[in-house]
Structure 1
Amino acid sequence: MCQPSTCASCYAKNVRRDSWFSSHKHQFDFHYSFDWIVGMDSRLIPVEALDHVALTVTNPEASMAWYQKILGFQIASMEGLKQGPPFLLRAAPGNYLNLFPADTLEPSNSPDHNTLAMRHVAFRIPFDRMADVENKLTELGQSVMGFDYGPRCRALFIQDPDGHQIELIGYADGVFTA
């Protein structure tokens, strides 16, 4: 099977990886292992979970209050570290949001959708509670944009005080097959 790093034709044409996948998708089935992309067996790096997301904010205290009020996050703390994150929130067991203050009073604007950057942070919520969550967000004064990915997946998008896009996504049972 040709791979972008070893296929002479693709290499000569300087094919981008996403373009390569599109033009070679006939070679894949749903169970294909992409371990070669990293160049090693994925078991060599025992990733357990996504631990935290770090965001730069203009006012960490105000942002912490927003995440507590709007999303119900809890203040978290860490012990036994020489230096710990001062603005840490627990989203769910094992999932944290770390807020860092911007270096200046006038930080750069948020990137547009064509800029290489993180586009949004997504938090999973129960699929059967989507309508309740949307109503509660509206009651709390949030501008909510709903999006249906299909009949068994729905998302709600809101923005935090600094304009970070937050996705609240719910999946019906059986959506994930692997």
Structure 2
Amino acid sequence: MTTPSTTAAAATGLAGVRALSHVALEVSDLEASIAFYEAVLGFEIFQDSRMGVGQPNVKGVIAGLGFELAQSPTPRQGAADRRSPCSLGIPCLSFTVADAAGVFARLKAGGWVDAAAPTEFKGAKFFFAFDPDGHPFELIEFPKGIETLADIRLRNR
């Protein structure tokens, strides 16, 4: 099923932006991050450049979103120092799920969630989890009929 947020958009702004292309993360341990993103978010690799020239990286998709993981060329601070969904830069990636409570229980059992329970706000249920480097990501269940944040805007028109 195609929602308004997944159809090709008209170019907007001075840059003529049509869509979000992909998200790229530099990680301290590429193998550990690949294992995490495959197990937790269903990351599917379509291009593997771990053995090539240059910065080792893999490109793939998570729920239709282009996603890249690259080995950091410099040592990074520990994961525990960055485990906050309220930091500067891109504070988190957000992924829609059908059952926030069920996903929360599975990730809590795997040790990937620190919170006591998902938060509820205006009909949405969400929580944050952290990858091996402490990058936060949000998993959110929207009210029925909404798949993405952009769908809320379209629904309110």
Taking structure 1 as the reference length, what is the TM-score of the superposition?
Answer: 0.60
* In structure 1, distance between residues paired with 2:125 and 2:61: 23
Matched, 1:56 2:29: no
Q: Specify whether residues 149 and 46 from structure 1 end up closer, same or farther in structure 2 by C-alpha distance, changes over 3 A only.
A: same
Q: Which residue of 2 aligns with 1:117?
A: 89
Gaps spanning 5+ residues in structure 1: where? 1-40
Matches within 5 A, 1:78-93: 86-93=57-64
**Would the aligned equivalents of 1:158 and 1:165 in 2 still touch at CA under 8 Å?**
yes
Give, in angstroms, the shift of residue 89 of structure 1. Answer: 2.9
* In structure 2, distance between residues paired with 1:66 and 1:74: 12
Gaps spanning 5+ residues in structure 2: where? 1-10, 49-53, 147-151
* In structure 2, distance between residues paired with 1:170 and 1:102: 32
Give, in angstroms, the shift of residue 49 of structure 1. Answer: 2.3
**Would the aligned equivalents of 1:63 and 1:161 in 2 still touch at CA under 8 Å?**
yes
* In structure 1, distance between residues paired with 2:86 and 2:100: 29
Matches within 5 A, 1:6-155: 42=12, 45-77=15-47, 86-93=57-64, 95-104=65-74, 106-108=75-77, 110=82, 116-126=88-98, 129-145=99-115, 146-150=118-122, 152-155=123-126
Sequence identity (%): 29
Q: Which residue of 2 aligns with 1:35?
A: none
**Would the aligned equivalents of 1:89 and 1:98 in 2 still touch at CA under 8 Å?**
yes
The structure whose RCO (Cα within 8 Å, separation 6+) is larger is: 2
Give, in angstroms, the shift of residue 139 of structure 1. Answer: 2.7
Give, in angstroms, the shift of residue 86 of structure 1. Answer: 2.9
Q: Specify whether residues 166 and 115 from structure 1 end up closer, same or farther in structure 2 by C-alpha distance, changes over 3 A only.
A: closer
RMSD: 2.9
Q: Specify whether residues 110 and 137 from structure 1 end up closer, same or farther in structure 2 by C-alpha distance, changes over 3 A only.
A: closer
* In structure 1, distance between residues paired with 2:144 and 2:17: 25
* In structure 2, distance between residues paired with 1:96 and 1:123: 13
Q: Which has the larger radius of gyration?
A: 1
Between the two proteins, the alignment pairs up a number of residues equal to: 129
* In structure 1, distance between residues paired with 2:120 and 2:16: 34
* In structure 2, distance between residues paired with 1:117 and 1:139: 29
Corresponding residue SS for 1:50? coil
